[in-house]
């Protein structure tokens, strides 16, 4: 369904061009959940934005191929790309507060993809569909949420709204860029569960981007580990977690606290530790060493 | 509705405070109305009688209460100089000043919104840079001087209008509006320049926010993102600005009436100030303040419509 | 780290510098007596001896522009001084202490805010009478609310900051905290509002003098010159254009300077 071949992303906004993603390769099947892991600055978000067609600044250059359902996304005309965006590829972002438009009602925003991609639907049909989608992401009082503004909702509810807005056209691929990072630990687990259910029921492929390996382990079938713009290692969750090949991956896994599954409330603490250890790892490595 | 009620209460309090300040300011100045009306040669007995008759011996608050009650009934007092009711003097002038202010306000909106958006869309382009430089210069031109320049170029050289050839709206509305066009431009120019600058930077900073990326991810084109998502957010500071410059625009209208020889409230205000005809000055000042406060109130309500985050506080 | 000064700052500083030098020269020396009339030179245009021509009384416009800009500048400085001084005091006390005093003063402030400053100036002028010093007092009072409002909100923002708390713990008195600890931290905001206020003062003074209720003769004033020039617009356009351009440059220089300060 999705094939990424030799994707390179370069920025030209400084005097010396800076490459943020090197030779990225990925193949995804329909219905698969793939985790993309790495610390901040590893190029994982850039890759995600490139797949979603959201890197279009003039001062950057993309090379390679992103083939989605047989269509080359990097070179296809903008209007064809727009037909796919929100319709077949949808995206959920890290900060649900800032990612929602503050001055429009939630319902308007959830329905937007429908208005763009299914202009034949009537207002009532759209609303019906929006309410149903809001219920699908396990929001109680969908009707009330539909008529609220983003600032009236809690963080977890906002992220559910974002997921509903992304899922309303039943896309084939959902890209979730650190969708849980800004949320409480308990809410994180709920969102992960929700994504799992969506994947099972709608056969939506999910590209789940996170720096949190424990979440990836709960959710994904395959993992791609990135560091400094390179893919360090990739394989099934089982392979990666049980027989990691690379030093970097081992350190990442070593940093996951052992008790995380038993004591949920302690997670907040331990996560900080995870982040700490990660930072040290990076510092020790002093930048990108691994290549494929 | 609660918001509306609270704002309305605030409006009424502000109106009362403003009118009291004006009343008090004119009540404490040396020289009293009785002397002003009768002249300095009047006998003390007659002065005392008149004072008693006018209620000048009552406490300030009582006099204020009487004055505001009369004011609300449309009785603005009597001019010292012309011994005629102030209301009769300014009744026909109020629409003139209001028309001038409203016209220039509309011009500011009609110029700044399209221009601000265009500049933001093509930020750094040739048009944008030209507008930025022009904006800086226009903001520095006092409105009365742009009025003089307009009179010179459009009136004396291009003969697009006759300087001083004011046509009253009682004669012809089209002629009246036609004559008001250039003064309105002079009032509008500096404010429009500021509004363009503000809207431009507001749109540019909004375009960098996360929700814009979300909008693109749903398949919106640049135009759709700009007009359907960004514009409403970007207009919020512009509406605040428009509300705050309104008072300045009324003042600008009064000055420009002088430049273009328009018999509006400004003319009477100035003559009355030089003649120390306080009831007239007082009435006009309060009228203008009321006008500004009421329009500000409307701006507040519009504000509430475009920004749902505004709470009651 | 010293950043490159912005283009706005350089142009603004240059214009303001030139204007200041001209004003200073105008205080000491003018090519002609600005009041000396010469019927033969009535409304004469630009010439070598009178670089801006002469007005309807045959007075040298250049000399009058020099004197007039001095008056305008003097009034503007005085206005901003009065406005910012009282604005700072009122804003500091209301912002720092809050409470009922704050509530009352801010209501009055809100009410005064409904008046355009030039109109407020007109009210005070009608109470005080016209003339240079009355204009300063009138406009100065009219400018107090806007300064007070800015200072107040800055003080509200700063009063709960850690450095204020630690100063309090160290035993500093309220006055000391207000004017030694908080006030310097509001300087950035104050500086730009003083510059904007200065421009507004120039424009308001010119407007009032134009209306004939500001600076009175024999003091020369740019606004007054413009109102006199308006009657001779067709025969002597230079009479209006030169003082007008000087006025624009004065405001433009300062606003560019303010812009540049903000950027740096």
**Predicted pLDDT of residue A262:** 46
Q: Is the dihedral of CA B193, C17, C86, C182 positive or negative?
A: positive
Dist. CA B65–CA C23, nearest whole Å: 50
R_g over Cα of chain A = 19
Average pLDDT over residues A154-161: 90
Q: What share of chain A is helix, strand, coil (3-state, %, to 5)?
A: 45, 25, 35
Both A37 and A96 in one domain: the answer is yes
Say whether pLDDT at B34 is over 80: no
Contact between B210 and A99 under an 8 Å Cβ cutoff? The reply is: yes
Residue B182 CB contacts under 8 Å (≥ 6 apart), including other chains = B147, B150, B151, B154, B155, B160, B161, B260
Question: Taking CA atoms, what residue in B is nearest to C7?
Answer: B133
Contacts of A91 in chain B (CB under 8 A): 214, 217
Give me the residue spans of the domains in chain C. 2-32+52-263
Q: Flag whether residue B21 sits within 8 Å of chain C, measured between CB atoms.
A: yes
| Shortest Cα–Cα distance, C167 to chain B (Å) | 31
SS3 C8: helix
Model ipTM value: 0.82
Rounded to the nearest 10 degrees, the angle between the axes of helix C187-211 and helix B231-259 is 30
User: CB distance B250–C108 less than 8 Å?
Assistant: no
Distance, in angstroms, between A222 CA and closest chain B CA? Answer: 25
Structure tokens that stand for A68 in this block: 């989605």
Structural domains counted in chain A: 2
Angle, vertex CA C7, rays to CA C3 and CA C11, nearest 5: 125
pLDDT tens-place string over residues B49-97: 777 776 677 777 888 888 888 888 888 878 877 878 888 888 888 888 8
How much is the pLDDT for C81? 93
Chain C residues closer than 8 Å to B144 by CB? 206-207, 210, 223, 226
Whether pLDDT at A73 is above 70: yes
Residues of B in contact with C125 (CB under 8 A): 273
Crossing angle of helices A155-167 and A106-117, in 10° steps, is 10
Q: Are residues B103 and B43 in the same domain?
A: no
Q: Is A51 part of the contact surface with chain B (CB cutoff 8 Å)?
A: no
Least confident range from A96-105, B204-213, B229-238, C58-67: namely C58-67
Q: Please tell me the least confidently modeled range out of A259-263, B52-56, B302-306.
A: A259-263
What is residue B35's predicted lDDT score, i.e. its pLDDT?
A: 67
A171 DSSP 8-state letter? -
DSSP assignments along A47-60, one per residue: HHHHHTT----TTE
Mean of pLDDT values over B100-121: 92
Model pLDDT for residues A161-194, shown as the tens digit of each residue: 999 999 999 999 999 998 888 888 888 888 999 9
**Distance from C-alpha of B130 to C-alpha of B150, rounded to nearest angstrom:** 21
Whether B107 contacts chain C with CB within 8 A: no
Residue B144 included in any domain: yes
Query: Contact C211/B13, CB-based, under 8 Å?
Result: no
Q: CA nearest B200: which of B110, B114, B108, B303?
A: B114
Residue B77 belongs to a domain: no
Q: Which domain holds residue A289?
A: 268-292
Contacts of A201 (CB under 8 A, 6+ apart): none
For all residues of chain C together, what is the average pLDDT?
81
Percentage of residues in chain C having pLDDT higher than 70: 89
User: Tokens representing B259?
Assistant: 């430049």
Strand partners, A18: A11
CA distances (Å), A135 to each of A132, A144, A146, B230, in order? 5, 11, 10, 28
Give C-chain residues touching B18 at CB under 8 angstroms.
111-112, 114-115
* Cα C178 to Cα C152: distance, rounded to the nearest angstrom: 11
Tokens of A185: 């630990």
- At residue A173, what are phi and psi to the nearest 5 degrees? -130, 130
A216 & A275 share domain: no
Q: What three-state secondary structure class fits A180? A: coil
Q: What string of H, E and C letters represents the secondary structure of chain B?
A: CHHHHHHHHHHHHHHHHHHHHHHHHHHHCCCCHHHHHHCCCCCHHHHHHHHHHHCCCCCHHHHHHHHHHHHHCCCCCECCCCCCEHHHHHCCCHHHHHHHHHHHHHHHHHHHHHHHHHHHHCCCCHHHHHHHHHHHHHHHCCHHHHHHHHHHHHHHHCCCCCCCCCCCCCCCHHHHHHHHHHHHHHHHHHHHHHHHHHHHHHHHHHHCCHHHHHHHHCCCCHHHHHHHHHHHHHHHHHHHHHHHHHHHHHHHHHHHHHHCCCCCHHHHHHHHHHHCCHHHHHHHHHHHHHHHHHHHHHHHHHHHHHCCCCCCC
Let me know whether A236 and A276 are in one domain: no
Q: How large a percentage of chain A has pLDDT more than 90?
A: 32
d(Cα C234, Cα B156) in Å, to the nearest integer?
Answer: 7
> Each residue of A206-246: pLDDT tens digit?
999 988 888 888 899 999 999 888 888 888 888 888 888 88
Neighbours of chain A (3+ CB pairs under 8 A): B
User: In this complex, does chain A touch chain C, defined as having at least 3 beta-carbon pairs under 8 Å apart?
Assistant: no
Q: Do A272 and A211 share a structural domain?
A: no
pLDDT in tens, B5-32: 877 887 788 788 878 888 887 777 666 6
Q: Count the alpha carbons within 13 Å of C116 in the hemisphere toward its beta carbon.
A: 25
Q: Residues A100, B229: contact at Cβ < 8 Å? A: no
Fold for the domain defined by C2-32+52-263: MetI-like fold (1.10.3720)
Please state, in angstroms and rounded to a whole number, the distance separating the CA atoms of residues B253 and B248.
9
Chain B neighbors of A85, CB-CB under 8 A: 216-219
Q: Dihedral angle at the C-alpha atoms of A213, A214, A220, A225, nearest 10 degrees?
A: 10
Q: A181 is written with which tokens? A: 């990072």
- Closest residue on chain C to B136 (Cα): C252
Interchain contact, B221 vs A95, CB within 8 Å = no
pTM score, two decimals? 0.82
Partner residue opposite B273 with nearest CB, options C110, C122, C234 = C122
Query: Looking at residue A151, what DSSP letter applies?
Result: G
Name the residue among C91, C98, C101, C100 with its Cα closest to residue C160.
C98
The whole-angstrom separation of Cα A5 and Cα A65 is 5
Based on the domain organization, do A272 and A259 belong to the same domain? Answer: no
Q: CA-to-CA distance for B219 and B157, rounded, in angstroms? A: 54
Residue B147 and residue B209 in one domain: yes
List CB contacts (< 8 A) between B254 and chain C. 119
Tell me which residue range forms the domain holding B44.
2-72
> Taking 60 as the threshold, does the pLDDT of residue A282 lie above it?
no
CA distance B70 to B16: 14
Residue A288: predicted pLDDT:
35
Are B300 and B173 contained in the same domain?
A: yes
CA B98 to each of CA A38, B105, B177: distance values in angstroms, whole numbers, following the listed order: 64, 10, 12
Longest dimension (CA), chain B: 87
Is there a domain that residue B78 lies in? no
Tell the burial category of B206 from Cβ atoms under 10 Å away from its Cβ (0-12, 13-18, 19+).
Answer: buried
Q: Do B36 and B98 fall within a single domain?
A: no
CB nearest C111 (choices: B17, B149, B272): B17
Q: Given strand A2-11, what is the order of strands in its sheet?
A: A18-28, A2-11, A60-68, A71-72
Which class for A242: exposed (0-12), middle (13-18), buried (19 or more C-beta within 10 A)? exposed
Give the domain-ending residue among B72, B99, B126.
Answer: B72
- Is the Cβ pair A86, B232 closer than 8 Å? no
Pick from C119, C244, C255: which is nearest to B285 by CB? C119
The residue among C121, C122, C172 whose CA lies nearest residue C146 is C121
Residue keyed to tokens 């009236």:
A152
Q: Is residue B311 in some structural domain? A: no
Q: Residues B45, B171: one domain?
A: no
> Distances from the Cα of C48 to the Cαs of C33, C51, C212, in angstroms?
17, 6, 32
B213 shares contact with chain A (CB less than 8 Å): yes
pLDDT tens digits for C92-120?
888 888 788 888 887 777 777 767 777 77
Say yes or no: B125 and B221 in one domain: yes
Q: What is the CATH number of the domain that holds B206?
A: 1.10.3720.10
Report the SS3 class of residue A4. strand
CB pair distance less than 8 Å for C233 and B156: yes
- Per-residue burial over B129-157, b if 16 or more Cβ lie within 10 Å, else e, is eebbeebbebbbbbbbbbbbbbbbebbee
Using alpha carbons, list the distances in angstroms from residue B143 to A170, B153, B192, C199, C210: 58, 15, 12, 13, 11
Which residues in chain A have Cβ-Cβ distances shorter than 8 Å to B306? 103
User: Domain tally for chain B?
Assistant: 2
> Which ranges of C98-131 would DSSP assign to H, the alpha helix?
99-113, 117-128
**Shared-domain flag, residues A234 and A282:** no
Residue B160 pLDDT greater than 50, yes or no:
yes
Please provide the average confidence, as pLDDT, over all residues in chain B. 84
d(CA B235, CA B224): 16
Asked if the Cβ–Cβ distance from B140 to C252 is below 8 Å, we say yes
Query: Which domain CATH number covers A72?
Result: 3.40.50.300
- Taking the C-alpha atoms of residue A39 and residue A282, their distance in angstroms, rounded to an integer, is 9
């Amino acid at each position: 369904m999705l094939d990424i071949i030799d994707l390179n992303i370069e920025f030209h906004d400084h005097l010396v061009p800076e490459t943020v993603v090197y030779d990225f390769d990925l193949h995804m099947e329909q219905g698969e959940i793939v985790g993309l892991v790495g610390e901040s600055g590893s190029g994982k978000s850039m890759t995600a934005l490139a797949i979603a067609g959201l890197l279009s600044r003039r001062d950057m250059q993309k090379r390679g191929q992103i083939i989605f359902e047989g269509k080359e996304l990097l070179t296809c005309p903008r209007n064809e790309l727009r037909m796919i965006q929100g319709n077949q590829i949808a995206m959920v972002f890290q900060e649900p507060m800032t990612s929602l438009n503050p001055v429009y009602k939630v319902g308007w925003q959830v329905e937007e993809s429908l208005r763009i991609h299914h202009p034949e639907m009537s207002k009532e049909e759209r609303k019906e569909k929006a309410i149903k989608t809001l219920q699908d992401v396990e929001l109680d009082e969908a009707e009330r949420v539909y008529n609220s503004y983003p600032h009236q909702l809690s963080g977890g509810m906002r992220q559910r709204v974002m997921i509903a807005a992304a899922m309303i056209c039943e896309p084939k691929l959902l890209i979730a860029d650190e969708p849980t990072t800004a949320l409480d630990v308990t809410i994180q687990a709920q969102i992960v569960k929700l994504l799992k259910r969506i994947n099972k029921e709608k056969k939506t492929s999910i590209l789940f981007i996170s720096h949190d390996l424990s979440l990836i382990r709960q959710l994904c079938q395959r993992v791609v580990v990135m560091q400094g713009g390179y893919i360090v290692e990739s394989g099934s969750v089982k392979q990666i977690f049980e027989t990691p090949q690379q030093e970097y991956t081992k350190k990442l896994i070593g940093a996951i606290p052992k008790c995380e599954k038993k004591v949920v409330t302690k997670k907040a603490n331990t996560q900080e530790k995870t982040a700490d250890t990660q930072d040290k790892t990076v510092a020790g490595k002093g930048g990108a060493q691994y290549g494929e | 509705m609660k918001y509306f009620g609270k704002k309305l209460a605030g409006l009424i309090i502000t109106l009362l405070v403003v009118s009291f300040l004006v009343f008090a300011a004119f009540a404490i100045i040396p020289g009293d109305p009785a002397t002003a009306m009768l002249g300095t040669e009047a006998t003390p007995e007659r002065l005392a009688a008149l004072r008693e008759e006018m209620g000048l011996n009552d406490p300030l608050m009582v006099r204020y209460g009487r004055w505001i009650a009369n004011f609300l009934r449309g009785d603005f007092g009597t001019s010292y100089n012309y011994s005629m009711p102030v209301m009769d003097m300014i009744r026909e002038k109020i629409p003139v000043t209001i028309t001038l202010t409203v016209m220039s306000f509309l011009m500011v909106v009609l110029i700044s919104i399209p221009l601000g958006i265009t500049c933001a869309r093509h930020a750094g382009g040739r048009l944008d840079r030209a507008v930025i430089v022009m904006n800086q210069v226009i903001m520095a031109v006092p409105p009365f001087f742009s009025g003089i320049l307009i009179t010179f170029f459009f009136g004396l050289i291009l003969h697009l209008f006759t300087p001083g050839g004011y046509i009253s709206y009682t004669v012809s509305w089209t002629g009246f509006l036609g004559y008001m066009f250039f003064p309105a431009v002079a009032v509008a120019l500096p404010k429009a320049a500021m509004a363009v600058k503000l809207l431009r930077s507001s749109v540019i900073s909004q375009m960098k926010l996360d929700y814009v990326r979300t909008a693109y991810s749903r398949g919106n084109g640049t135009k759709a993102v700009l007009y359907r998502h960004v514009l409403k957010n970007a207009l919020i500071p512009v509406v605040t600005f428009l509300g705050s410059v309104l008072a300045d625009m009324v003042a600008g209208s009064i000055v420009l009436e002088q430049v273009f020889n328009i018999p509006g409230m400004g003319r009477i205000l100035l003559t009355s100030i030089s003649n120390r005809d306080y009831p007239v000055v007082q009435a006009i000042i309060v009228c203008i303040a009321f006008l500004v406060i009421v329009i500000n109130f409307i701006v507040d309500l519009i504000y509430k419509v475009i920004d749902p985050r505004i709470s009651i506080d | 780290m010293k950043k490159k000064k912005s283009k706005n700052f350089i142009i603004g500083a240059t214009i303001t510098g030139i204007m200041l030098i001209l004003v200073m020269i105008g205080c000491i020396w003018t090519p002609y007596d600005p009041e000396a009339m010469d019927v033969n030179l009535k409304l004469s245009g630009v010439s070598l001896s009178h670089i801006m021509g002469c007005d309807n009384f045959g007075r040298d416009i250049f000399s009058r522009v020099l004197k007039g800009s001095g008056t305008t500048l003097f009034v503007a400085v005085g206005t901003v001084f009065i406005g910012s001084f009282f604005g700072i005091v009122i804003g500091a006390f209301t912002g720092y202490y809050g409470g009922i005093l704050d509530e009352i003063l801010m209501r009055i402030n809100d009410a005064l805010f409904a008046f355009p400053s030039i109109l407020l100036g007109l009210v005070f002028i009608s109470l005080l009478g016209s003339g240079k010093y009355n204009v300063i007092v009138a406009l100065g009072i009219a400018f107090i609310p806007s300064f007070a409002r800015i200072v107040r909100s800055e003080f509200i923002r700063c009063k709960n900051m850690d450095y204020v708390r630690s100063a309090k713990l160290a035993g500093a008195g309220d006055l000391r905290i207000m004017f030694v600890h908080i006030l310097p931290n509001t300087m950035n905001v104050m500086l730009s509002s003083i510059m904007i206020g200065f421009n507004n003062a120039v424009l308001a003074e010119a407007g009032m003098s134009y209306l004939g209720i500001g600076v009175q003769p024999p003091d020369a004033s740019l606004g007054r010159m413009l109102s006199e020039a308006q009657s001779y617009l067709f025969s002597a356009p230079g009479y209006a254009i030169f003082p007008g351009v000087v006025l624009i440059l004065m405001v433009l220089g300062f606003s560019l300077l303010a812009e540049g300060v903000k950027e740096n």
